[in-house]
Amino acid sequence: MKTLKNLPVKKLVYGGYGLAHVEGKSVFVDYALPSEVVDAEVYRENKDYFLARTKRVVLPSSVRRDAPCPYYQECGGCQLQHLDYAEQIRAKEDMLLDTLKRIGKIEIKNLESSLYAEEFGYRIRAQFKVDRGRLGFFKRKSHSLIQVENCLLVHPAINQLLPALRELLRKIQTVKEVHVLYSPNEDEFLVKLLCDNTPPRDKIRKLKNTILPKKVVGIGVYGEGEVYHIGRNFSFIEASSYRYRVCMDSFLQINYLLWDRFIASALLKASFNKVLELHCGVGFFSLPLSKNSKFVVAYDSNRSAIKDAEYNAKINCVENVSFNYEISTEAIKRHAGEVIDLLFLDPPRSGLSGGEAKLVLKNKPNRIVYVSCEPTTLARDLKVFLEGGYKIESLRMVDNFPNTYHIEAIAHLVLD
């Protein structure tokens, strides 16, 4: 493999790479930091760029640290553990601004102060890969498994469950993935087993009762063509004084340490007559939004999430939100021509689907809140909104995913 010697690293770019230049090409270097000089081993060469991995740090940055996790650089889960946490925040702010500028041609002058909490133990949801009874994560850019005894990103309770899960896996050979959801409010787990062949229900029931702790209140078995649950398929969490039921198949924001502040930062102080929300999930933002709104109409394309959201409105005595199962494009069309005071968006990484941003412009809601977990699609969609007459009132980075390259952001827009 080709080694690029003495590469000066210019900056950190989205994906967690250190960016360098050589032979007229860009080099995206794993585990390299700005102002460092590194030797890097190329693992892919394209017409315009190299992908490479740091082999030796010739001149280290003053903000480099020894990664606290023993699996770091082997496991693909984290990309930034070699960077001091305060610097991770600064780097993510820069990467967010850079991405908006590069893709959206958007200049942000005053980024709000970022939201962050503890850098470890924040994930209440984890998806472990399984290979012949071994449990862990995939290696970086590979599908080979690295077995882990302990993951620093997940809630400590999830790590405590791992020995029991490993024992369970020794008894069922067909499991490909184990998903765990932990409720820090109820101190209980939901476990989902993704299997090649569906193991018999009686066997799973027996294993649940004999091997797993009582805190595992439900197991979902997802085999080819057959799905069943033993025990409960849902748990409850609390955020911003609301109680939410969350089913195993519904989306839930993974960083429980930021739930309250995340909601508070996304909401606006003003009151609204009519709010349209397109990616509502279990109502995580919808219920708090309902407090200052006359009426919220909320949509999601996941039936399980909508059922949870309807239930959540009831248990929180919220009567001014209607939850609907529909994809966002159809939802926007349904409300074409209506007066909407606030449009609330929180799409998946792919951002708004083709044409949705333009459809929004036909409606021209007075304000838009865009919660995004992918800066590149945020930049693309914001560009359309800005060209359509909106201005960005505020932008804030939310570090929902410390030690990884992922970046969450909240943008507040208003008609200019």
| Residues that are catalytic | 373
Among 34, 77, 136, 281, binds ligand SAM (CB under 6 A): 281
Determine if 285 is a binding residue for ligand SAM (CB under 6 A).
yes
Q: CA–CA separation, 401 vs 89, rounded Å?
A: 11
Segment interacting with ligand SAM (CB under 6 A) among 81-89, 144-152, 212-220, 347-355: 347-355
User: Among residues 284 and 390, whose Cβ is nearest to ligand SAM?
Assistant: 284
Position 279 contacts ligand SAM (CB under 6 A): yes
Q: Which residues contact 54 (CB under 8 A, 6 or more apart)?
A: 18, 29, 30, 31, 32, 38, 39, 40
Amino acid, res. 66: D
Which of 343, 345, 349 lies closest to 362, judged by CA? 343
And the tokens for 199?
């193991």
Smallest gap from Cβ 258 to ligand SAM, in A, equals 12
Nearer CB in complex with ligand SAM: 216/239: 239
Contact 81, 388 (CB under 8 A): no
Q: What are the two backbone dihedrals, phi and then psi, of residue 385, each rounded to the nearest 5 degrees?
A: -65, -40
Using CB under 6 A as the binding rule, whether residue 253 contacts ligand SAM is answered as yes
Binding range to ligand SAM, per CB under 6 A, among 133-141, 174-182, 299-307, 334-342: 299-307
Cα–Cα distance for residue pair 168/194, rounded to 1 Å: 13
353 binds ligand SAM (CB under 6 A): yes
By CB under 6 A, how many residues form the interface with ligand SAM? 21
Nearest partner of 373 among 270, 238, 251, judged by Cα = 251
Of 97 and 282, the one with the shorter C-beta distance to ligand SAM is 282
Single-letter residue type at 156: P
Of 91, 146, 212, 280, the one binding ligand SAM (CB under 6 A) is 280
Nearest to 75 by CA among 373, 404, 408, 406: 404
Identified binder of ligand SAM from the candidate list 300, 308, 374, 408, rule CB under 6 A: 300
CB of 327 to ligand SAM, least distance (A): 4
- Token look-up 């689907």 returns 353
Please state the closest distance from residue 284 (CB atom) to ligand SAM, in A.
4
Angle at 348 between CA 264 and CA 367, to 5 degrees: 50
Record the tokens describing residue 74, joined without a space: 């082997």
- The residue written with tokens 């082997």 in the block is 74
By CB under 6 A, which span of 77-85, 140-148, 232-240, 274-282 interacts with ligand SAM? 274-282
The residue from 284, 323, 390, 405 that contacts ligand SAM (CB under 6 A) is 284
Distance CA 415, CA 55 (A): 50
Binding mask of the shown chain, residues 306 to 345, with x at each position contacting ligand SAM by CB under 6 A: ---------------------xx-----------------
Amino acid 224 reads E
Alpha carbon distance 28, 24 (integer Å): 13
Residues of this chain that bind ligand SAM (CB under 6 A): 251, 253, 278-282, 284-285, 299-302, 305, 327-328, 346-348, 353, 373
